[in-house]
A and B are shown apart, each in its own frame.
Chain A
Amino acid sequence: MTLLEVRDLSVQLQTKTGFATAVDRLSFTVNEGEILGIAGESGSGKTMTALTLLGLLPQHAKVSGSAKFNGQELIGLSSKEWQKFRGAQIAMVFQDPMTSLHPMLSIKAQMTEHMVTHLGISQQQALVDAEELLADVRIPDPKKALNSYAGQFSGGMRQRICIAMALACKPKLLLADEPSTALDVTVQAGILTLLNRLRKEHQLSIIFITHDLGVLSSITNKLLVLYAGREAESGSTSTILQLPRHPYTQGLLDSLPQPDSNEKLLKSIAGFPPELGKQPIGCAFAERCKFAAATCSGDELLPTYLADSHKFICAVDPFAGLSINQVRP
């Protein structure tokens, strides 16, 4: 069943020179119990998309389009109405666990405050539940942890606490914004395993945001690749990773370090994404793309739909009809 349905979502942010489009007509859906991965470089609009779904965009940002959560339209809610969704129905885990926990409030205070607000339970009950939640995310000695402060935990432990906090009010959708990027690789794996287990046990849907396709491949069902605020390619994770059709997705995959490669240098995509507000009409990736042709710029490009809801937006389609061995020898 569809939990979240986003249609033509656009976000414009106020800059010194006027409004700049940060998210450009995005559409995607998230089904119950599904993990959608959103991939892209920094500035591609991943985080802005997540913040839109929580109503936490900066003041003066303009939002258009539609985002229906369980059939209820989110865009245009008042701040009072947003408060009922945030934390209760849709929760978020942020990138940097070192800064997203309050340094001066005890874990106890931070774990229970929104439980009391949203669930209407007593502080005592909230404490009992909080202890269980901490145990569930494998925090050793949860009772002691509740009376501690953020500064007493390592990064990985703090992120586990953030996850427990996000799940405290049993939300249906979890927005995970690069939750493992700031952590060591071994700790990262632990967080991914934890999220996957919690998804199953809590019937949770997750939007997992990262620039790391390697991470996304291991836990997501569906992928959405963003470039400069626009969709480049989307579809099921296995299809896209096997045979990407957009040169940008291909570039991201090529940029992953290959342990068995003989090459001395890591591959990367040359150039930089366009600045906010300076995206060209047509394909924003064209100027970095080695397959770029005259048809790439000037006009709005139309998406190409393939089987298995695989979709991409590229005028050249250089990988059409090729098999995986031809694309990635």
Chain B
Amino acid sequence: MKDLLARRSSSEKSGGLRGNSLSTFVIRRIAIGILLMLGITLISFSVTQLVPGDPAALNLGQSAMSDPTIVAAWRAKYGLDKPVPEQYIIYIDHLLHGDLGLSQQSRRPVSSDLAEYFPATLELATIAIFFSLIFGLLFGVIAAITRNRWPDQIIRFVTLTGVSVPTFWLSLVFFYLFYFKLSWFPSNGRLDPGTDAPSTITGMYTFDALFHGQFNLCWQAFRHLMLPAIVLAIYTIAVLTRFTRASILEILHNDYVRAARAKGLPESHVIRRHVLRPALLSIVTVAGVAFGNLLAGSVLVENVFSWPGIGQYAYRSSIGLDLPGIMGVSIVVAGIFIVMNLLVDIAYRFIDPSLRHG
């Protein structure tokens, strides 16, 4: 993974990024992203066709299945009676018009399903990555500068535990401990039972409640977020800590760090200015991938905490062979990673200003 990242950043430094203005760079990347999305729809469409199983059998009841006219009518409703290539072309045509089709599970447009489930995940993932960046960077820097002394040993032990413990197990333990036993955090779901959600602006409850001035509701939504966000963040913190430590130690070996010390600069200044900046290049890459993973849905954590997010939706769609649902999730996830990659590449240019000078 590290090799891959190193290669990636060096190739971008030598070619792609140098000497372009930011806007042409972004426009070109968006165009490539659209082509990529098209390819992804083709692949996920083909894969769902290859999976054995009959969507009709999974979505219709026993008695309906025994009546061929009902089955035929159901197939015709979702376009499943047409040849597969034609199905794909129809799907793309609809997609270009912003129509993701009807979910066979919820019997609602996939686009409105996604609009409901995705903000829940976005809210969770944003809080989780926020914690992860703060603590991952902090622990990573401490571990690197106290290399092989006791703070580093403790951090190593804790982070190794963090990456080794299965997240679903941790979710259960946290849920049992902090909700059931200690009652520090509220129960499952996004809000207390019987509470009305704030009227939708972004679909993220904390933000929407804040916008409408419903501070109590905002606080309630935030408290519901905490437990799953912490569970999600633990793994990412562990990964980021280890990665930050490794990249700082690597940078410390560089001649320019010795040269900075030879100038008599305080060690804290050397770390902040001469070491952290180059280390951020690889940290940002990992953080981008991690955020993408959080957004793509953490099925198990969302299930344990009954969090109505994209992970749960993906799980339900795939169990029911809900083709439009699966396709919708694939497109959203692909879009997330394309956008994250673009953001990471833009971040490179701010971290390393020499990229902007040809």
Contacts and interface: CB of A to CB of B under 8 A. Distances in A.
Contacts of B266: 83, 117
Interface string A81-116: 011111110011010100111111110010001100
Interface stretch (B111-119, B125-133, B252-260, B330-338): B252-260
A152 B261 contact: no
Contact of A87 (B255, B265, B352): B265
Given A79-B267, A113-B269, A103 B256 contact: yes
B262 A87 contact: yes
Given A96-B255, A102-B256, A102-B274, 19 more contacts: A56-B258, A83-B266, A84-B264, A85-B264, A86-B261, A86-B263, A91-B262, A92-B262, A94-B259, A102-B259, A103-B278, A104-B278, A104-B351, A104-B352, A113-B269, A117-B265, A149-B353, A149-B354, A162-B259
A102 B255 CA distance: 9
Nearest 10 pairs of A and B residues by beta carbon: A87-B264, A86-B264, A149-B354, A87-B263, A114-B263, A99-B255, A100-B259, A102-B256, A100-B255, A92-B262
Nearest to A104: B352
B261 A56 contact: yes
Interface in B231-266: 254-256, 258-266
A23 B351 CA distance: 41
A99 B263 CA distance: 15
A114 B265 contact: yes
Nearest to A171: B264
A94 B258 CA distance: 9
A86 B262 contact: yes
A96 B266 CA distance: 23
Interface in B337-358: 351-354, 357
Interface string B80-91: 000000000000
B151 to A, nearest CB: 16
A318 interface: no
Interface residues of B, number: 23
A114 B258 contact: no
B277 interface: yes
Contacts of A83: 264-266
Interface string A191-207: 00000000000000000
B265 A94 contact: no
B262 A56 contact: yes
Contact of A94 (B255, B264, B351, B352): B255
29 contacts: A83-B264, A86-B263, A86-B264, A87-B265, A88-B264, A92-B262, A94-B255, A96-B255, A99-B254, A101-B256, A102-B256, A102-B260, A102-B274, A103-B352, A104-B354, A105-B273, A105-B274, A105-B277, A109-B273, A113-B263, A113-B269, A113-B273, A117-B264, A148-B357, A149-B353, A149-B354, A151-B354, A151-B357, A152-B357
A88 B269 CA distance: 16
Contacts of A103: 256, 278, 352, 354
Interface of B: 254-256, 258-267, 269, 273-274, 277-278, 351-354, 357
Nearest to B278: A104
Given A105-B277, A113-B273, A114-B265, A149 B357 contact: yes
A114 B264 contact: yes
A165 B277 contact: no
A110 to B, nearest CB: 8
A143 interface: no
A84 B261 CA distance: 11
A84 B274 CA distance: 19
Contacts of B261: 56, 86
A314 interface: no
Contacts of B267: 79
Contacts of B265: 83, 87, 113-114, 117
A152 B260 CA distance: 20
Contacts of A109: 273
A71 to B, nearest CB: 20
Find the residue from A102, A103, A105, A162 having the highest chain B CB count within 10 A: A102
B143 to A, nearest CB: 16
Nearest to A84: B264
A68 interface: no
Contacts of A152: 357
B161 to A, nearest CB: 28
A135 B265 CA distance: 24
B113 to A, nearest CB: 45
